[in-house]
Homo-oligomer: A and B are copies of this chain.
């Protein structure tokens, strides 16, 4: 379980990332593969949330995970322990993934036997928001210790996400975090975004999140 495959992905050469992203999404649709792009700051709990998500859904659908990081393979090793297919993508210093890089990852992972693929993007609230990866849905995590004002400071990330998971709600008593204010700031950026408070460590809220994701995967696969 300590060995995971590491794929060094290369910067893309496509002139139009948007066109390449649409092309990738169409191919995924044909193959019946749902791709979720999961983004957040460093340390907001993406990998722990992912492990909980896998626990909740792995008995009903085949899952594959791509862990993107600049360096290290700690996340892919952690995910591989859940028993699902996992690959570590190294971006060679790049701060985000675009559609071409995501395609390299999908080819490395292999999606023939996968229904739900989750890309854990590089921990970064800025650059990943600027590049369509070809994912069907974008999700982000904002953790309580980061503060309720983040939608004001990182507008693009909040505006392109279909769902915002507010993680680490168990430590809310120790931080100055106003959940209602945060919801309001998110609404300012993106009235359509679904907001789900969770605690990945304890599992709180994971049921609602898994239900959201399940319904999107079903709708996509028809």
Contacts and interface: CB of A to CB of B under 8 A. Distances in A.
Interface bracket on A: 35 or more
Contact of A70 (B43, B143, B154, B171): B154
Nearest to A173: B174
B153 A42 contact: yes
B126 A70 contact: yes
A72 B70 CA distance: 29
A147 interface: yes
Interface in A129-161: 130, 143, 145-147, 149-150, 152-156
A119 interface: no
A71 interface: yes
Could you say how many copies of this chain the assembly holds? 2
Contact of A153 (B123, B152, B175): B123
Given A95-B126, A122-B126, A153 B72 contact: yes
A44 B147 CA distance: 9
B123 A41 contact: yes
25 contacts: A41-B41, A41-B42, A41-B123, A43-B143, A43-B145, A44-B146, A70-B154, A70-B156, A71-B152, A72-B149, A72-B152, A93-B130, A95-B95, A95-B124, A95-B127, A123-B154, A124-B126, A124-B127, A126-B127, A143-B145, A145-B145, A145-B168, A145-B171, A171-B171, A171-B174
